[in-house]
Structure 1
Amino acid sequence: AALIPIATRAELLATLTIVSLHPGRPVGGSIAETALSVAGQAALAIDNARLYGQQKAFADAMQRSLLPQAPPELPGLELGDEYQSSARVEVGGDVYDYLTLGDGRLAVVLGDVMGHGVDATADMAMAKFVFRSLARDHRDPGEFLAAANEVVASEIAPGKFITMVELVIDAEHGEVACASAGHPPPRLVLPDGTVQEIAAGGLALGVDSQQDYETVRAAFPRGAIVVAYTDGVVEARRHGELFGLARFDALLAEQRALSPQKIAEAALAACRAWTDGELTDDFAVVVIKRAD
Protein backbone atom coordinates (compact mmCIF):
# COMPACT_ATOMS: atom_id res chain seq x y z
CA ALA A 1 0.00 0.00 0.00
CA ALA A 2 0.99 3.60 -0.45
CA LEU A 3 -0.24 6.68 1.38
CA ILE A 4 -0.18 9.85 -0.70
CA PRO A 5 -0.77 13.14 1.15
CA ILE A 6 -3.26 15.60 -0.32
CA ALA A 7 -1.84 18.79 1.11
CA THR A 8 -1.13 22.44 0.58
CA ARG A 9 2.01 24.11 1.88
CA ALA A 10 0.08 25.07 5.00
CA GLU A 11 -1.86 21.94 5.94
CA LEU A 12 -2.66 18.31 5.30
CA LEU A 13 -6.14 18.10 3.76
CA ALA A 14 -6.56 14.35 3.25
CA THR A 15 -4.73 11.15 2.41
CA LEU A 16 -4.99 9.09 -0.76
CA THR A 17 -4.52 5.38 -0.05
CA ILE A 18 -3.49 3.02 -2.85
CA VAL A 19 -3.58 -0.71 -2.20
CA SER A 20 -2.11 -3.34 -4.51
CA LEU A 21 -4.31 -6.40 -4.96
CA HIS A 22 -1.27 -8.43 -5.91
CA PRO A 23 1.21 -8.93 -3.03
CA GLY A 24 4.02 -9.56 -5.42
CA ARG A 25 3.48 -6.24 -7.23
CA PRO A 26 3.98 -3.37 -4.77
CA VAL A 27 2.73 0.10 -5.58
CA GLY A 28 5.41 2.18 -7.20
CA GLY A 29 6.76 3.56 -10.42
CA SER A 30 4.23 5.09 -12.77
CA ILE A 31 1.31 4.34 -10.43
CA ALA A 32 2.91 6.32 -7.62
CA GLU A 33 3.74 9.18 -9.97
CA THR A 34 0.14 9.28 -11.23
CA ALA A 35 -1.17 9.21 -7.66
CA LEU A 36 1.10 12.09 -6.68
CA SER A 37 -0.14 14.10 -9.66
CA VAL A 38 -3.79 13.39 -8.81
CA ALA A 39 -3.18 14.29 -5.16
CA GLY A 40 -1.62 17.60 -6.17
CA GLN A 41 -4.55 18.45 -8.42
CA ALA A 42 -7.03 17.50 -5.69
CA ALA A 43 -5.25 19.69 -3.15
CA LEU A 44 -5.31 22.63 -5.55
CA ALA A 45 -9.02 22.11 -6.28
CA ILE A 46 -9.91 21.93 -2.58
CA ASP A 47 -7.80 24.98 -1.77
CA ASN A 48 -9.33 26.96 -4.65
CA ALA A 49 -12.84 26.03 -3.53
CA ARG A 50 -12.09 27.27 -0.03
CA LEU A 51 -10.55 30.46 -1.38
CA TYR A 52 -13.56 31.05 -3.65
CA GLY A 53 -15.90 30.84 -0.67
CA GLN A 54 -13.75 33.21 1.37
CA GLN A 55 -13.46 35.71 -1.49
CA LYS A 56 -17.20 35.60 -2.14
CA ALA A 57 -18.00 36.27 1.52
CA PHE A 58 -15.46 39.11 1.62
CA ALA A 59 -16.81 40.56 -1.63
CA ASP A 60 -20.37 40.56 -0.34
CA ALA A 61 -19.29 42.22 2.92
CA MET A 62 -17.47 44.98 1.05
CA GLN A 63 -20.41 45.54 -1.28
CA ARG A 64 -23.02 45.67 1.46
CA SER A 65 -20.96 48.04 3.60
CA LEU A 66 -21.54 50.72 0.96
CA LEU A 67 -25.32 50.22 0.89
CA PRO A 68 -27.86 51.73 3.31
CA GLN A 69 -28.65 49.60 6.33
CA ALA A 70 -32.34 50.45 5.92
CA PRO A 71 -34.44 52.91 3.88
CA PRO A 72 -35.34 56.17 5.65
CA GLU A 73 -38.81 56.71 7.07
CA LEU A 74 -40.53 59.77 5.61
CA PRO A 75 -44.09 61.08 5.86
CA GLY A 76 -46.17 60.22 2.80
CA LEU A 77 -43.70 57.71 1.37
CA GLU A 78 -43.04 53.99 1.74
CA LEU A 79 -39.67 52.63 0.64
CA GLY A 80 -38.15 49.25 -0.05
CA ASP A 81 -34.98 47.97 -1.63
CA GLU A 82 -33.28 44.70 -2.41
CA TYR A 83 -29.75 43.83 -3.41
CA GLN A 84 -28.22 40.50 -4.32
CA SER A 85 -24.72 39.92 -5.62
CA SER A 86 -24.16 37.69 -8.61
CA ALA A 87 -22.71 34.21 -8.49
CA ARG A 88 -19.38 35.67 -9.57
CA VAL A 89 -16.67 35.90 -6.93
CA GLU A 90 -15.66 39.46 -7.85
CA VAL A 91 -17.18 42.42 -6.06
CA GLY A 92 -19.92 43.91 -8.18
CA GLY A 93 -20.54 47.54 -8.95
CA ASP A 94 -24.16 48.30 -7.96
CA VAL A 95 -24.69 51.08 -5.42
CA TYR A 96 -27.71 53.02 -4.18
CA ASP A 97 -28.41 55.56 -1.45
CA TYR A 98 -31.02 57.91 -0.01
CA LEU A 99 -30.79 61.50 1.18
CA THR A 100 -33.45 63.78 2.67
CA LEU A 101 -33.08 67.28 1.22
CA GLY A 102 -33.53 70.48 3.20
CA ASP A 103 -36.91 71.17 1.60
CA GLY A 104 -38.28 67.79 2.74
CA ARG A 105 -38.00 66.02 -0.62
CA LEU A 106 -36.27 62.66 -0.92
CA ALA A 107 -33.29 62.17 -3.22
CA VAL A 108 -32.59 58.62 -4.35
CA VAL A 109 -29.59 57.58 -6.41
CA LEU A 110 -28.83 54.24 -8.01
CA GLY A 111 -25.69 53.55 -10.00
CA ASP A 112 -23.79 50.79 -11.72
CA VAL A 113 -20.01 50.98 -11.84
CA MET A 114 -18.26 49.49 -14.84
CA GLY A 115 -16.33 46.34 -14.01
CA HIS A 116 -15.85 44.17 -10.95
CA GLY A 117 -13.23 43.73 -8.27
CA VAL A 118 -11.47 46.08 -5.88
CA ASP A 119 -11.35 48.92 -8.42
CA ALA A 120 -15.13 48.73 -8.82
CA THR A 121 -15.53 48.93 -5.05
CA ALA A 122 -13.39 52.07 -4.96
CA ASP A 123 -15.53 53.60 -7.71
CA MET A 124 -18.67 52.65 -5.77
CA ALA A 125 -17.33 54.48 -2.74
CA MET A 126 -16.60 57.50 -4.94
CA ALA A 127 -20.16 57.41 -6.35
CA LYS A 128 -21.65 57.36 -2.86
CA PHE A 129 -19.38 60.19 -1.71
CA VAL A 130 -20.30 62.28 -4.76
CA PHE A 131 -24.01 61.80 -4.03
CA ARG A 132 -23.68 62.62 -0.34
CA SER A 133 -21.51 65.68 -0.94
CA LEU A 134 -23.32 67.22 -3.94
CA ALA A 135 -27.02 66.31 -3.77
CA ARG A 136 -27.99 68.84 -1.09
CA ASP A 137 -26.45 71.74 -3.01
CA HIS A 138 -27.76 70.54 -6.40
CA ARG A 139 -31.39 69.66 -5.74
CA ASP A 140 -32.36 69.44 -9.41
CA PRO A 141 -31.44 65.95 -10.69
CA GLY A 142 -30.00 67.23 -13.97
CA GLU A 143 -27.83 69.77 -12.16
CA PHE A 144 -26.70 67.12 -9.69
CA LEU A 145 -25.62 64.71 -12.43
CA ALA A 146 -23.74 67.47 -14.27
CA ALA A 147 -21.83 68.31 -11.08
CA ALA A 148 -21.25 64.63 -10.31
CA ASN A 149 -20.00 64.03 -13.84
CA GLU A 150 -17.30 66.68 -13.50
CA VAL A 151 -15.97 64.95 -10.39
CA VAL A 152 -16.17 61.43 -11.79
CA ALA A 153 -14.57 62.43 -15.11
CA SER A 154 -11.58 63.84 -13.25
CA GLU A 155 -11.16 60.88 -10.90
CA ILE A 156 -12.17 57.66 -12.66
CA ALA A 157 -9.64 55.60 -14.62
CA PRO A 158 -9.55 56.18 -18.40
CA GLY A 159 -12.05 54.03 -20.27
CA LYS A 160 -14.24 53.47 -17.22
CA PHE A 161 -17.61 55.02 -16.40
CA ILE A 162 -20.59 54.91 -14.03
CA THR A 163 -24.22 54.79 -15.08
CA MET A 164 -26.48 56.56 -12.62
CA VAL A 165 -30.04 57.72 -12.15
CA GLU A 166 -31.26 60.22 -9.56
CA LEU A 167 -34.86 60.62 -8.46
CA VAL A 168 -36.06 63.52 -6.35
CA ILE A 169 -39.49 62.79 -4.91
CA ASP A 170 -41.90 65.39 -3.59
CA ALA A 171 -44.47 63.51 -1.53
CA GLU A 172 -46.36 66.64 -0.55
CA HIS A 173 -47.05 67.86 -4.09
CA GLY A 174 -47.02 64.46 -5.82
CA GLU A 175 -44.12 64.85 -8.23
CA VAL A 176 -41.04 62.86 -9.15
CA ALA A 177 -38.10 64.50 -10.92
CA CYS A 178 -35.57 62.32 -12.70
CA ALA A 179 -32.27 62.59 -14.56
CA SER A 180 -30.24 59.74 -15.98
CA ALA A 181 -26.62 59.21 -16.96
CA GLY A 182 -26.80 56.22 -19.28
CA HIS A 183 -28.88 54.23 -16.78
CA PRO A 184 -31.98 52.07 -17.40
CA PRO A 185 -35.08 54.32 -17.19
CA PRO A 186 -37.13 54.07 -13.96
CA ARG A 187 -40.63 52.60 -14.10
CA LEU A 188 -43.64 54.58 -12.87
CA VAL A 189 -46.56 52.31 -11.94
CA LEU A 190 -49.88 54.13 -11.58
CA PRO A 191 -52.64 52.97 -9.22
CA ASP A 192 -54.58 51.40 -12.12
CA GLY A 193 -51.59 49.23 -13.09
CA THR A 194 -50.42 51.31 -16.05
CA VAL A 195 -46.62 51.27 -16.30
CA GLN A 196 -44.84 54.30 -17.72
CA GLU A 197 -41.18 54.84 -18.48
CA ILE A 198 -39.51 57.94 -17.07
CA ALA A 199 -37.27 58.54 -20.05
CA ALA A 200 -34.33 60.83 -19.33
CA GLY A 201 -31.21 60.66 -21.48
CA GLY A 202 -27.54 61.44 -21.06
CA LEU A 203 -24.11 59.84 -21.26
CA ALA A 204 -22.74 57.79 -18.39
CA LEU A 205 -20.65 59.65 -15.82
CA GLY A 206 -17.00 59.92 -16.75
CA VAL A 207 -17.43 59.82 -20.52
CA ASP A 208 -17.63 63.56 -21.26
CA SER A 209 -16.92 66.07 -18.49
CA GLN A 210 -19.04 68.73 -20.26
CA GLN A 211 -22.18 66.61 -20.61
CA ASP A 212 -25.51 68.24 -19.73
CA TYR A 213 -28.37 66.26 -18.22
CA GLU A 214 -32.08 66.84 -18.68
CA THR A 215 -34.49 66.74 -15.75
CA VAL A 216 -37.78 65.00 -16.53
CA ARG A 217 -40.77 65.51 -14.24
CA ALA A 218 -43.81 63.30 -13.81
CA ALA A 219 -46.92 63.36 -11.66
CA PHE A 220 -46.70 60.97 -8.73
CA PRO A 221 -50.27 60.34 -7.53
CA ARG A 222 -51.18 58.64 -4.28
CA GLY A 223 -50.85 54.88 -4.53
CA ALA A 224 -48.34 55.07 -7.40
CA ILE A 225 -44.88 53.55 -7.20
CA VAL A 226 -41.62 54.47 -8.88
CA VAL A 227 -38.93 51.85 -9.35
CA ALA A 228 -35.22 52.31 -10.05
CA TYR A 229 -33.13 49.27 -10.94
CA THR A 230 -29.85 48.15 -12.46
CA ASP A 231 -29.49 46.26 -15.72
CA GLY A 232 -28.91 43.01 -13.85
CA VAL A 233 -32.67 42.90 -13.27
CA VAL A 234 -33.91 42.97 -16.87
CA GLU A 235 -30.80 41.28 -18.30
CA ALA A 236 -31.11 38.18 -16.12
CA ARG A 237 -30.78 35.26 -18.55
CA ARG A 238 -32.26 31.81 -19.01
CA HIS A 239 -30.63 29.87 -21.86
CA GLY A 240 -29.75 33.16 -23.52
CA GLU A 241 -33.22 34.71 -23.15
CA LEU A 242 -33.50 37.93 -21.13
CA PHE A 243 -35.94 38.38 -18.28
CA GLY A 244 -36.72 41.66 -20.02
CA LEU A 245 -38.73 44.80 -19.42
CA ALA A 246 -42.07 43.27 -20.39
CA ARG A 247 -41.86 40.67 -17.62
CA PHE A 248 -40.54 43.24 -15.16
CA ASP A 249 -43.36 45.67 -15.93
CA ALA A 250 -45.95 42.90 -15.66
CA LEU A 251 -44.58 41.89 -12.27
CA LEU A 252 -44.64 45.48 -10.99
CA ALA A 253 -48.22 45.99 -12.16
CA GLU A 254 -49.35 42.70 -10.65
CA GLN A 255 -47.67 43.30 -7.29
CA ARG A 256 -48.37 47.05 -7.02
CA ALA A 257 -50.72 46.66 -4.03
CA LEU A 258 -47.95 45.15 -1.90
CA SER A 259 -45.54 47.14 0.23
CA PRO A 260 -42.43 48.45 -1.56
CA GLN A 261 -40.25 45.97 0.30
CA LYS A 262 -42.46 43.06 -0.75
CA ILE A 263 -42.40 44.29 -4.35
CA ALA A 264 -38.59 44.44 -4.28
CA GLU A 265 -38.46 40.92 -2.82
CA ALA A 266 -40.89 39.65 -5.45
CA ALA A 267 -38.70 41.07 -8.22
CA LEU A 268 -35.63 39.35 -6.80
CA ALA A 269 -37.51 36.05 -6.45
CA ALA A 270 -38.69 36.29 -10.07
CA CYS A 271 -35.16 36.92 -11.37
CA ARG A 272 -33.78 34.08 -9.30
CA ALA A 273 -36.44 31.74 -10.64
CA TRP A 274 -35.73 32.90 -14.19
CA THR A 275 -32.01 32.15 -13.83
CA ASP A 276 -32.57 28.83 -12.02
CA GLY A 277 -31.31 30.33 -8.78
CA GLU A 278 -27.96 31.68 -9.99
CA LEU A 279 -27.80 35.37 -10.88
CA THR A 280 -25.18 36.17 -13.50
CA ASP A 281 -25.07 39.88 -12.64
CA ASP A 282 -25.72 41.91 -9.53
CA PHE A 283 -29.37 42.69 -8.77
CA ALA A 284 -30.41 46.02 -7.25
CA VAL A 285 -33.87 47.57 -7.10
CA VAL A 286 -35.33 50.50 -5.16
CA VAL A 287 -39.11 50.91 -4.84
CA ILE A 288 -40.82 54.09 -3.61
CA LYS A 289 -44.56 54.33 -3.08
CA ARG A 290 -46.60 57.44 -2.41
CA ALA A 291 -48.92 56.54 0.42
CA ASP A 292 -52.68 56.52 -0.24
Structure 2
Amino acid sequence: MRSSHTTLATLMICSVFSFFAVKVSAKNNTDSLSVNNKEKELKVMTYNIHHGNPPAKEGVIDLQAIADVINSQSPDLVALQELDVLTSRSGNVDEVKKLAELTGMHSFFSKSIDFGGGGYGVAILSKFKINKEERFTLPFKEGLNAEPRSLAVINVTLTNGKKLDFASTHLDLKDEHRMLQVAEINKILGNRKGAAILAGDLNLTATTPAMKILEQYFERSCQENCAPTIPDVDPTEEIDFIMLKKGSPLKVQSHQVLNDIHASDHLPLVVTYKY
Protein backbone atom coordinates (compact mmCIF):
# COMPACT_ATOMS: atom_id res chain seq x y z
CA MET A 1 0.00 0.00 0.00
CA ARG A 2 1.36 3.43 -0.99
CA SER A 3 2.15 5.70 1.96
CA SER A 4 0.44 9.03 2.50
CA HIS A 5 3.85 10.73 2.18
CA THR A 6 4.33 9.26 -1.30
CA THR A 7 0.84 10.35 -2.36
CA LEU A 8 1.43 13.85 -1.05
CA ALA A 9 4.75 14.13 -2.88
CA THR A 10 3.11 12.97 -6.11
CA LEU A 11 0.37 15.58 -5.76
CA MET A 12 2.94 18.32 -5.18
CA ILE A 13 4.93 17.32 -8.27
CA CYS A 14 1.76 17.28 -10.39
CA SER A 15 0.82 20.72 -9.09
CA VAL A 16 4.22 22.11 -10.03
CA PHE A 17 3.99 20.69 -13.57
CA SER A 18 0.45 22.05 -13.93
CA PHE A 19 1.60 25.51 -12.83
CA PHE A 20 4.39 25.63 -15.41
CA ALA A 21 2.09 24.23 -18.10
CA VAL A 22 -0.37 27.05 -17.44
CA LYS A 23 2.47 29.60 -17.54
CA VAL A 24 3.79 28.25 -20.85
CA SER A 25 0.27 28.16 -22.32
CA ALA A 26 -0.38 31.73 -21.19
CA LYS A 27 2.92 32.88 -22.70
CA ASN A 28 2.17 31.17 -26.01
CA ASN A 29 -1.28 32.78 -26.10
CA THR A 30 0.27 36.19 -25.37
CA ASP A 31 2.89 35.69 -28.09
CA SER A 32 0.17 34.68 -30.55
CA LEU A 33 -1.88 37.73 -29.61
CA SER A 34 1.10 40.05 -30.08
CA VAL A 35 1.75 38.56 -33.53
CA ASN A 36 -1.91 39.00 -34.50
CA ASN A 37 -1.91 42.59 -33.26
CA LYS A 38 1.32 43.47 -35.05
CA GLU A 39 0.89 46.14 -37.74
CA LYS A 40 0.84 44.76 -41.25
CA GLU A 41 2.05 46.37 -44.48
CA LEU A 42 0.30 46.81 -47.81
CA LYS A 43 2.53 47.79 -50.74
CA VAL A 44 0.81 49.44 -53.71
CA MET A 45 2.23 50.44 -57.11
CA THR A 46 0.88 52.47 -60.00
CA TYR A 47 2.59 52.32 -63.37
CA ASN A 48 1.70 53.64 -66.81
CA ILE A 49 3.54 51.08 -68.97
CA HIS A 50 3.24 52.73 -72.43
CA HIS A 51 1.93 49.39 -73.82
CA GLY A 52 5.25 47.80 -72.87
CA ASN A 53 7.26 49.97 -75.25
CA PRO A 54 10.47 51.49 -73.80
CA PRO A 55 10.69 55.09 -75.10
CA ALA A 56 14.24 54.62 -76.38
CA LYS A 57 13.28 51.53 -78.39
CA GLU A 58 10.74 52.46 -81.03
CA GLY A 59 8.43 49.61 -81.95
CA VAL A 60 9.87 47.25 -79.34
CA ILE A 61 7.56 45.55 -76.81
CA ASP A 62 9.43 44.48 -73.68
CA LEU A 63 6.97 43.15 -71.11
CA GLN A 64 9.77 41.37 -69.26
CA ALA A 65 11.26 44.78 -68.44
CA ILE A 66 7.91 45.89 -66.97
CA ALA A 67 7.61 42.65 -65.00
CA ASP A 68 11.15 43.06 -63.68
CA VAL A 69 10.26 46.51 -62.32
CA ILE A 70 7.15 45.12 -60.63
CA ASN A 71 8.93 42.07 -59.23
CA SER A 72 11.77 44.20 -57.86
CA GLN A 73 9.27 45.85 -55.50
CA SER A 74 7.06 42.81 -54.78
CA PRO A 75 3.89 44.91 -54.43
CA ASP A 76 0.61 43.49 -53.19
CA LEU A 77 -1.50 45.52 -55.63
CA VAL A 78 -0.57 47.18 -58.94
CA ALA A 79 -2.59 49.68 -60.95
CA LEU A 80 -1.52 49.61 -64.61
CA GLN A 81 -2.38 51.97 -67.46
CA GLU A 82 -1.96 51.90 -71.26
CA LEU A 83 -2.15 48.16 -71.85
CA ASP A 84 -2.74 46.43 -75.16
CA VAL A 85 -4.72 43.21 -75.25
CA LEU A 86 -4.48 41.28 -78.54
CA THR A 87 -3.67 44.37 -80.61
CA SER A 88 -1.62 44.36 -83.80
CA ARG A 89 0.61 47.12 -82.38
CA SER A 90 1.87 44.82 -79.63
CA GLY A 91 2.07 41.59 -81.60
CA ASN A 92 -1.42 40.34 -80.69
CA VAL A 93 -0.27 39.56 -77.15
CA ASP A 94 -2.59 39.75 -74.15
CA GLU A 95 -0.35 42.04 -72.13
CA VAL A 96 -2.46 41.73 -68.97
CA LYS A 97 -2.35 37.93 -69.01
CA LYS A 98 1.37 37.93 -69.81
CA LEU A 99 2.25 40.32 -66.98
CA ALA A 100 0.15 38.22 -64.60
CA GLU A 101 2.19 35.18 -65.63
CA LEU A 102 5.52 36.99 -65.27
CA THR A 103 4.66 38.33 -61.83
CA GLY A 104 2.66 35.41 -60.47
CA MET A 105 -0.30 37.66 -59.67
CA HIS A 106 -4.04 37.65 -60.31
CA SER A 107 -5.25 40.13 -62.93
CA PHE A 108 -8.23 42.13 -64.18
CA PHE A 109 -8.48 44.16 -67.40
CA SER A 110 -10.82 47.05 -68.05
CA LYS A 111 -11.00 47.89 -71.75
CA SER A 112 -11.38 51.56 -72.51
CA ILE A 113 -11.35 51.48 -76.32
CA ASP A 114 -11.26 49.05 -79.23
CA PHE A 115 -7.84 49.33 -80.83
CA GLY A 116 -5.77 47.50 -83.43
CA GLY A 117 -8.04 44.48 -83.56
CA GLY A 118 -8.10 44.16 -79.78
CA GLY A 119 -8.51 46.31 -76.69
CA TYR A 120 -6.62 49.08 -74.92
CA GLY A 121 -7.15 50.22 -71.35
CA VAL A 122 -6.22 49.84 -67.70
CA ALA A 123 -5.59 46.82 -65.52
CA ILE A 124 -4.89 45.60 -62.00
CA LEU A 125 -2.52 42.95 -60.68
CA SER A 126 -3.13 41.49 -57.22
CA LYS A 127 -1.32 39.07 -54.92
CA PHE A 128 -4.65 38.59 -53.19
CA LYS A 129 -7.42 36.48 -54.62
CA ILE A 130 -9.92 38.80 -56.27
CA ASN A 131 -13.34 38.68 -54.64
CA LYS A 132 -15.09 40.90 -57.18
CA GLU A 133 -14.30 42.71 -60.44
CA GLU A 134 -16.03 45.85 -61.70
CA ARG A 135 -15.61 48.00 -64.80
CA PHE A 136 -17.06 51.50 -65.10
CA THR A 137 -17.15 53.76 -68.15
CA LEU A 138 -16.14 57.31 -67.25
CA PRO A 139 -18.08 60.25 -68.72
CA PHE A 140 -16.92 62.99 -71.08
CA LYS A 141 -18.30 66.35 -72.09
CA GLU A 142 -20.69 66.14 -75.01
CA GLY A 143 -19.53 67.93 -78.16
CA LEU A 144 -15.85 67.88 -77.15
CA ASN A 145 -13.53 65.29 -78.70
CA ALA A 146 -12.56 62.62 -76.19
CA GLU A 147 -10.94 59.19 -75.93
CA PRO A 148 -13.14 56.88 -73.85
CA ARG A 149 -11.79 56.19 -70.35
CA SER A 150 -12.66 53.57 -67.75
CA LEU A 151 -12.25 52.68 -64.10
CA ALA A 152 -11.21 49.18 -63.02
CA VAL A 153 -12.16 48.16 -59.46
CA ILE A 154 -11.42 44.95 -57.61
CA ASN A 155 -12.27 43.87 -54.09
CA VAL A 156 -9.77 41.85 -52.06
CA THR A 157 -9.49 40.53 -48.52
CA LEU A 158 -6.41 41.72 -46.61
CA THR A 159 -4.44 39.52 -44.22
CA ASN A 160 -6.40 40.88 -41.25
CA GLY A 161 -9.65 39.70 -42.80
CA LYS A 162 -10.83 43.18 -43.77
CA LYS A 163 -11.93 43.93 -47.33
CA LEU A 164 -10.51 46.63 -49.59
CA ASP A 165 -11.58 48.14 -52.93
CA PHE A 166 -8.63 48.90 -55.21
CA ALA A 167 -9.10 50.97 -58.38
CA SER A 168 -7.00 51.80 -61.43
CA THR A 169 -7.75 54.55 -63.92
CA HIS A 170 -6.29 56.80 -66.62
CA LEU A 171 -8.04 60.15 -66.89
CA ASP A 172 -8.44 62.35 -69.96
CA LEU A 173 -6.03 65.10 -71.00
CA LYS A 174 -8.75 67.76 -71.14
CA ASP A 175 -9.86 69.43 -67.92
CA GLU A 176 -13.51 69.52 -69.06
CA HIS A 177 -13.53 65.71 -69.21
CA ARG A 178 -11.46 65.20 -66.06
CA MET A 179 -13.88 67.27 -63.97
CA LEU A 180 -16.71 64.93 -64.93
CA GLN A 181 -14.58 61.83 -64.52
CA VAL A 182 -13.36 62.58 -60.98
CA ALA A 183 -16.91 63.43 -59.94
CA GLU A 184 -18.01 60.03 -61.26
CA ILE A 185 -15.20 58.27 -59.37
CA ASN A 186 -16.28 60.04 -56.18
CA LYS A 187 -19.83 58.86 -56.84
CA ILE A 188 -18.71 55.25 -57.42
CA LEU A 189 -16.21 54.85 -54.59
CA GLY A 190 -16.71 57.78 -52.23
CA ASN A 191 -19.95 56.64 -50.62
CA ARG A 192 -19.09 52.96 -50.37
CA LYS A 193 -18.51 51.43 -46.97
CA GLY A 194 -15.02 50.11 -46.27
CA ALA A 195 -11.50 51.07 -47.29
CA ALA A 196 -10.59 52.04 -50.84
CA ILE A 197 -7.47 53.04 -52.76
CA LEU A 198 -7.51 54.86 -56.10
CA ALA A 199 -4.37 54.75 -58.23
CA GLY A 200 -3.35 55.70 -61.72
CA ASP A 201 -2.23 58.20 -64.30
CA LEU A 202 -4.62 61.06 -63.55
CA ASN A 203 -3.17 63.41 -66.19
CA LEU A 204 -3.37 66.26 -63.70
CA THR A 205 -1.22 67.79 -60.97
CA ALA A 206 -1.82 68.37 -57.27
CA THR A 207 -3.03 71.92 -58.00
CA THR A 208 -5.40 71.10 -60.89
CA PRO A 209 -9.07 71.91 -60.10
CA ALA A 210 -10.11 68.29 -60.72
CA MET A 211 -7.73 67.17 -57.96
CA LYS A 212 -9.59 69.36 -55.48
CA ILE A 213 -12.78 67.49 -56.34
CA LEU A 214 -11.09 64.11 -55.78
CA GLU A 215 -9.74 65.34 -52.46
CA GLN A 216 -13.26 65.67 -51.15
CA TYR A 217 -13.09 61.89 -50.68
CA PHE A 218 -9.44 60.88 -51.16
CA GLU A 219 -6.04 61.80 -49.74
CA ARG A 220 -2.82 61.82 -51.75
CA SER A 221 0.00 59.64 -50.42
CA CYS A 222 2.38 62.62 -50.66
CA GLN A 223 1.34 66.14 -49.67
CA GLU A 224 4.44 68.28 -50.28
CA ASN A 225 7.80 68.15 -52.07
CA CYS A 226 6.56 65.19 -54.08
CA ALA A 227 8.80 63.71 -56.77
CA PRO A 228 7.72 63.98 -60.43
CA THR A 229 6.70 60.86 -62.36
CA ILE A 230 7.05 61.89 -66.01
CA PRO A 231 9.01 61.68 -68.28
CA ASP A 232 11.34 58.83 -67.41
CA VAL A 233 14.38 60.98 -68.23
CA ASP A 234 14.70 64.21 -66.23
CA PRO A 235 11.10 64.05 -64.93
CA THR A 236 9.33 67.35 -64.38
CA GLU A 237 5.67 66.61 -63.51
CA GLU A 238 3.81 64.56 -60.93
CA ILE A 239 0.72 63.16 -62.68
CA ASP A 240 0.65 59.60 -61.31
CA PHE A 241 -1.01 59.23 -57.91
CA ILE A 242 -2.02 56.75 -55.24
CA MET A 243 -4.88 58.04 -53.10
CA LEU A 244 -6.55 56.59 -50.00
CA LYS A 245 -10.23 57.12 -49.36
CA LYS A 246 -10.74 59.25 -46.26
CA GLY A 247 -11.71 57.25 -43.19
CA SER A 248 -9.89 54.12 -44.35
CA PRO A 249 -7.93 52.46 -41.52
CA LEU A 250 -4.58 52.58 -43.32
CA LYS A 251 -1.68 54.96 -42.78
CA VAL A 252 1.05 55.97 -45.23
CA GLN A 253 4.41 54.52 -44.21
CA SER A 254 6.40 55.44 -47.33
CA HIS A 255 6.00 57.09 -50.74
CA GLN A 256 8.63 56.51 -53.41
CA VAL A 257 9.01 57.30 -57.10
CA LEU A 258 11.45 54.84 -58.67
CA ASN A 259 14.09 56.76 -60.62
CA ASP A 260 16.25 55.61 -63.54
CA ILE A 261 13.57 53.23 -64.76
CA HIS A 262 13.27 53.35 -68.55
CA ALA A 263 10.86 50.55 -69.42
CA SER A 264 8.13 53.19 -69.98
CA ASP A 265 7.82 56.95 -70.39
CA HIS A 266 6.40 57.13 -66.83
CA LEU A 267 8.18 56.32 -63.59
CA PRO A 268 6.52 53.86 -61.24
CA LEU A 269 5.17 55.10 -57.91
CA VAL A 270 5.22 52.80 -54.88
CA VAL A 271 3.39 53.50 -51.62
CA THR A 272 3.47 51.33 -48.51
CA TYR A 273 0.60 51.53 -46.03
CA LYS A 274 0.40 50.19 -42.48
CA TYR A 275 -2.80 48.68 -41.15
The two structures have a TM-score, normalised by structure 1, of: 0.29
Higher helix share: 1
Per the normalisation by structure 2, the TM-score is 0.31
